[in-house]
Amino acid sequence: MSSHFFDGSSPKRYDVTLEVWPEGISFETERGALNWRYEDLTRLWYYRPGQHLALTHRKHQDSRLVIEEADAISSIRMHAPNLLNRGRERLRSVRIAAALAGGILVLVAAIYFLVPPIADRMARAMPWSFEEKDAPELVQLERFIGTPCTAARPNQVLQDMTGRLLAAAHFPHPITVSVTDRKTANAFTFPGGRIVLLRGLIDKARTPNEIAAVIAHEIGHVVNRDHTERWIRNNVLSAATTMLFGFNPTGSVGESLFQSGLALSFSREDERDADAFAIDLLNRLDLDPSGGAAFFERLSRSGGLGGILPGYLSTHPESDGRADYFREHGTGAKQALSPADWLILKQICIKTGQG
């Protein structure tokens, strides 16, 4: 029985004579002498461990040294007992795996807690042209959220109410609010300051302040730059996932959703901030917030579902006590529209049908 060596770069087998010493193993090959220290070696347990001792070098893991001499194996066991102790090797592997897992958890936790506030600051500093570039065209939206409602007088009423909210918001960039003919009770905010209400939202509202509260909430998403913040956050998380696990979970589908403005849901923190902005806006205009609170409660009980798209509360996550928050923090007493204008607004989609 002898020992042999494979250098990993060719299939050639080198028969070698070993010299075992307290710090390691030396042997000669046709390419010169090699001195392997025990601390750099790993045992290959699948090489018939009952008969052979197979080793590889951690810096040259394609190489193999297979030792068959019993005397050499005994000497190595005496000098480096841990190298032949499978339990120790397994424990070392477990420790390495645990350390890697712990490092990944620390990194994930750091990303989870640090990315949102950093993304928020970056989003507010981002030029408005960044969102305008990604604002979806109306033709892109119609297939998902219906055709625009064009009744002239109701749209004028809507724009007058929206104009008062926007004036109180003091946002320096243009924001547009429109209604499309879809029976779902929902509202969406898209990049570039485009807010779209679906007809079902107006149909189910009982007071104009319910619609004013929803619009104020959506304006909050625009002013807080939530689309840009989410884009930054998602890209950072995607890069981190690619770095850690070697694949990108978003891909072209996720990117196209953002480009068309249809990646709809914000974080719960974003929703809370938008609610706080809405309350502040209603208070500035002395508008009674109880209508909005009642609307949230009513949609919550019904599930807010209808049509082909999820309802308002499925893309605007409801937190416990949201309606109570509106009541407790609101100070206004007025209605956003007169009874006559409210009846006119209810007819905003009459020219495009009710299907």
Q: Are 106 and 240 in contact (CB under 8 A)?
A: no
Q: What is the pLDDT of residues 99-112, one digit of tens each?
A: 777 777 777 676 66
The strand pairing partners of 224, in sequence order, are none
Same domain, 33 and 160: no
Look at 31 and 331; give whichever has higher pLDDT. 331
pLDDT per residue as tens digits for the range 243-300: 665 555 444 433 443 333 334 456 778 888 899 999 999 999 999 988 778 777 776 6
Domain boundary among 34, 63, 84: 84
Last residue of a domain, one of 66, 84, 102: 84
16: helix, strand or coil: strand
Mean pLDDT of 333-354: 86
Q: How confident is the model at residue 9 (pLDDT cuts 50, 70, 90)?
A: confident
- Are 172 and 257 within one domain? yes
Q: Within a 10 A sphere around the Cβ of 153, how many other Cβ atoms?
A: 12
Instruction: Tell me the pLDDT of the chain averaged across its residues.
Output: 78
Is 99 among the domain residues?
A: no
Q: Are residues 148 and 67 in the same domain?
A: no
For the entire predicted model, the pTM comes to 0.61
**Within a domain: 346:** yes
Are 15 and 149 part of one and the same domain? no
pLDDT for the residue numbered 237: 67
Structural domain boundaries, residue 35? 3-84
Q: Judging by DSSP bridges, how do beta strands 194-198 and 187-190 pair with one another?
A: antiparallel
Residues 176 and 79 grouped into a single domain: no
First to last CA, the chain: 88
Asked whether residue 65 falls in the same domain as residue 127, the answer is no
Q: Which of 43, 66, 84 is the last residue of a domain?
A: 84
Split into its structural domains, the chain has a count of 2
Domain presence at residue 102: no
Sign of CA dihedral 6, 12, 18, 21: negative
* 3-class DSSP state of 28: strand
Q: Are residues 189 and 326 in the same domain?
A: yes
Task: Read off the tokens for 158.
Answer: 């809507």
Q: How far apart are CA 193 and CA 188, in angstroms?
A: 11
Domain-located, residue 294: yes
| CB neighbours of residue 62 within 10 Å | 10
Q: Are residues 181 and 288 in the same domain?
A: yes
